[in-house]
Chains A and B, each alone.
Chain A
Amino acid sequence: AQSVTQLGSHVSVSEGALVLLRCNYSSSVPPYLFWYVQYPNQGLQLLLKYTTGATLVKGINGFEAEFKKSETSFHLTKPSAHMSDAAEYFCAVTKGSGTYKYIFGTGTRLKVLA
């Protein structure tokens, strides 16, 4: 069975500092991995995804993530945090079995300090 673990339900960083949000997965088949962002009382917006190919994936708003098979990780990073990055971030995995049922992590709420 697939699962996703996001370490740290709350993360605080200073404006301009590195953002690192952790995601580890388990999957018996090659996974497809995603990061979504959710602003308060809104739906989820895709930040980036990994399906095949290059393991370093660049997304919107300056975010990127690296798929590391040996570590079963897909951590999200951004070199310099901006106040507008404050939101909740979800990691998700699917094996793409036709209906693309996602397994979501429990989310990490990012707080950016001025």
Chain B
Amino acid sequence: SQTIHQWPATLVQPVGSPLSLECTVEGTSNPNLYWYRQAAGRGLQLLFYSVGIGQISSEVPQNLSASRPQDRQFILSSKKLLLSDSGFYLCAWDPGQDYEQYFGPGTRLTVT
């Protein structure tokens, strides 16, 4: 069966510090991968998606970036965090069929 992992689960970082969040998927190959941010009362905002290694599409201009160094690994990064980067970050994948996305457990990021 397929599983999706995210780490860390929680993170507290000062403004201006770098960020690296990791997402990995097991039990499937060549998944579509997604990064979402969830802010209170604002639903889910799609940040990045990837259809293959090295292929990243950005949905919203921001100081975040994403990379996909391996087929089942998706990384969200920032060189300098802003207070507005605080939120709950969710990684998701789908197999490219059946129209269903599967979500990871999320990372709670607090920028102080």
Contact = CB atoms under 8 A, between A and B. Distances in A.
| A, B assembled together | yes
Contacts of A94: 99
Interface in B35-91: 41-44, 46, 49, 51, 57, 59, 88, 90
Nearest to A102: B101
Contacts of B106: 41-43
Nearest to B108: A41
Nearest to B10: A41
Task: With a 10 A CB-CB cut-off, give which of A36, A45, A100, A104 has the most chain B CB atoms.
Answer: A100
B103 interface: yes
B100 A9 contact: no
B46 A96 contact: no
Contacts of A32: 99
B108 A49 contact: no
Contact of B43 (A41, A42, A46, A105): A105
A44 interface: yes
A51 to B, nearest CB: 6
A10 to B, nearest CB: 10
Max count, chain B CB within 10 A of own CB: residue among A9, A43, A101, A102:
A43
Interface in A44-65: 44-46, 49, 51
A14 to B, nearest CB: 25
Nearest to B43: A106
A80 B43 CA distance: 26
A96 B99 contact: yes
Contacts of A43: 90, 103-106
A55 B92 CA distance: 26
Nearest to B32: A99
22 contacts: A34-B100, A41-B106, A42-B106, A43-B90, A44-B90, A44-B92, A45-B103, A51-B99, A90-B43, A90-B44, A98-B51, A99-B57, A101-B59, A102-B44, A102-B46, A102-B101, A104-B43, A105-B43, A106-B41, A106-B42, A106-B43, A107-B43
